[in-house]
Amino acid sequence: MSVASPAAERIDSAAALGPESRQALRDLVLALADSKRVLGLRYSDRMLGAPTLEAAIAASSMAQDEWGHARLTYALLGDLGDEPKTLEHERPAAEYRSIPALDAPFASWADTIAAALLVDGALTVQYAALAESRYAPAHNRVQKMLDEERFHFQYAAGWARKMAAVPEIRPELAASLARVLPEALRWLGSDDAPACRRLADEGLVAGGPSELRRRFIARVAPVLIETGLADELGIVQRDGAWTYAGEVGWSGWNESTRRSGGSLDEVTAARARGDKNRALLMD
Amino acid sequence: MKEPVYEVFARKNRGEPLRHIGFINATDGPLAAVYAWKTYDEQNWEEMCVVPRAAIIPVEPGESQFVTMLGREPDADVMKLHGTGSYGGGDMAVREGGGR
């Protein structure tokens, strides 16, 4: 049960939270941190192999941004009962809680742009909800990330428009978007999940899962409409608002990990942990 | 696929004049803005702008580096660059373009 008017109380430490709320917040923050770290890795794979030099330089910069965001987010976990360095450097792949859409490397530039638009977009919507958290350590760290994410969105939108206009690339982009969209929507959480509800009810994030999905769709729908792909992706307008007409699918979904099974592979986890340079790891 | 050239201008502090720091190729203005911000990030710029090269109207075309050195005519708004790396600013951008 939440305490009376909890959303109004600003708190500076997780010690002020009940155990269930602290666990729910911890699970969300870890899922965000892991997703940012793996997204940074996937972007970094495009430092070489982007269609233009400018796109490669921007991907490289975005990879750096994501790793910075991951580091800031892992650091939040210290107040939530974890040792951030252990989480960053000691876990096997099966314990990563990154969004499943990033489990496999991007196979194409279309995959890269679909992830930049939809995965990065969903994470940003969740971070924006944390920016309004009454948990001060979260919202204090988030604003700079959101400023940087404006450019990521602009990049993704620009490339989506450009690729949709090239007939031989358009189907590939549509397929990548169609594959990632339900995963991005699912990652934002289930209204039936007690932890998701608790986070919203207690003002630890500003908005429950459905509201976050609404904000996410409102963010990406204009781009998908511009590309002419909204309809086939199931983004439709109902009662004046954009919504997703497809099935998100909750079978096997776990509210702690925000995953429905599967796992990041060990090779990627080794890169995320920094295994190659472990001997040089500083305290 | 050919891409237009966008000139990049920036100022370090409020009140300082904008100065030309380089150029990038991009399909459209929004992508040009991202590329410029992410490429010319060696300074903590107060403000940055991108301008389509084709939109620049030299007062004296014969003296304009945008026209004579960067090959504005006849290929007015299209130029493939040799590496984006005009990190040093406008002078280097001019040399790269002029070397074509």
pLDDT single digits (tens) A122-135: 999 999 999 999 99
Longest dimension (CA), chain A: 58
Query: Considering the entire predicted model, what is its pTM?
Result: 0.86
C-alpha Rg value of chain A to the nearest Å = 18
The residue among A46, A53, A60, A226 with the most chain B CBs within 10 A of its CB, best to mutate, is A53
Q: What are A6-38's pLDDT values in tens digits?
A: 556 899 999 999 999 999 999 999 999 999 999
User: Is the confidence at residue B68, as pLDDT, over 60?
Assistant: no
Q: Is the pLDDT of residue B19 over 90?
A: yes
- The identity of residue A3, as a single letter, is V
Task: Report the amino acid identity of residue A52.
Answer: T
Task: Report pLDDT for A109.
Answer: 96
**Residue B82: closest C-alpha in chain A:** A53
Pick the more confident residue, B76 or A59.
A59
pLDDT in tens, A77-86: 999 999 999 9
Strand positions, DSSP E, A140-267: 235-238, 241-244
d(CA B16, CA A246): 52
Q: How far apart (Å, rounded) are the C-alpha atoms in residues A4 and A1?
A: 9
> In this complex, which of B1, B26, B30 lies closest to A54 when CB atoms are compared?
B26
Strand partners, B7: B23, B51
Per-residue pLDDT at B73 exceeds 80: no
**B39/A155 touch (CB, cutoff 8 Å), yes or no:** no
Q: Does B37 touch chain A (CB under 8 A)?
A: yes
The alpha-carbon gap from A19 to the nearest alpha carbon of chain B, in Å, equals 42
Q: Would you give the distance in Å from CA B24 to the centre of its chain?
A: 6
Q: How far apart are the first and last CA of chain A?
A: 39
**pLDDT band of A53, cuts 50, 70, 90:** very high
In this prediction, residue A230 has a pLDDT band, given cuts at 50, 70 and 90, of very high
Percent of chain A at pLDDT above 70?
97
The verdict on a CB contact (< 8 Å) between B38 and A166 is no
pLDDT of residue B94: 36
Q: What is the mean pLDDT of chain A?
A: 93
Q: Is B29:B50 a contact under the CB 8 Å cutoff?
A: yes
Predicted pLDDT at B72:
53
- Tell me which chain B residue has its CA closest to the CA of residue A149: B34
pLDDT at B81: 40
pLDDT at residue B84, as a whole number:
40
Q: Determine contact, residues A88/A29, Cβ cutoff 8 Å.
A: no
3-state SS of chain B is CCCEEEEEEEECCCCCCCEEEEEEECCCHHHHHHHHHHHCCCCCCCEEEEEEHHHCCCCCHHHCHHHHCCCCCCCCCECCCCCCCCCCCHHHHHHHHHCC
